[in-house]
Amino acid sequence: MTDAAPKIERLKKRPDFLACAQAAHCARGAVLIQARARDEDPFIRVGFTATKRIGNAVMRNRAKRRLREAARLMLPELAKAGHDYVFIARGGVTTRPWPRLLDDVKSALIRLAADSGPPT
């Protein structure tokens, strides 16, 4: 990275999650990532979700914690400014070895970046 990493904010409102659901997505291993281009501001916005299929509340919280940490490590170098990302936990996210989960996130972000065209 030559210049400062773009600021990362959280998605918190349902319409933002629904807008990402209509955008491009990529599933890799234990994670599905949706990405949507925005024009409003240069920030990266990210949200996390885990359905009841993952397990009880403890398992869902563990899944989201793992996804948040993976996003914290991978988004600054692989995400595009002005995009929204939603990380959706899939089965096995809580038991997947950490290096493999990071590989899943990295390959999904690379694929989404390649699909959306040249970097912004």
The answer to whether 110 touches 78, Cβ cutoff 8 Å, is yes
Tell me if 120 is assigned to some domain: no
Tell me if 119 is assigned to some domain: no
pLDDT digits (tens, 9 = 90+) for 32-55: 999 999 877 888 999 999 999 999
pTM, two decimal places: 0.90
Tell me if 2 is assigned to some domain: no
Q: Which domain holds residue 83?
A: 8-114
Q: Give the CATH number for residue 21.
A: 3.30.230.10
Tell me if 105 is assigned to some domain: yes
pLDDT digits (tens, 9 = 90+) for 77-93: 999 888 999 999 999 99
CA angle 5, 15, 45 (to 5 degrees): 5
How would you label 35-69 residue by residue, b for 16+ Cβ within 10 Å and e otherwise? bbeeeeeeebbbbbbbeeebbeeebbebbbebbee
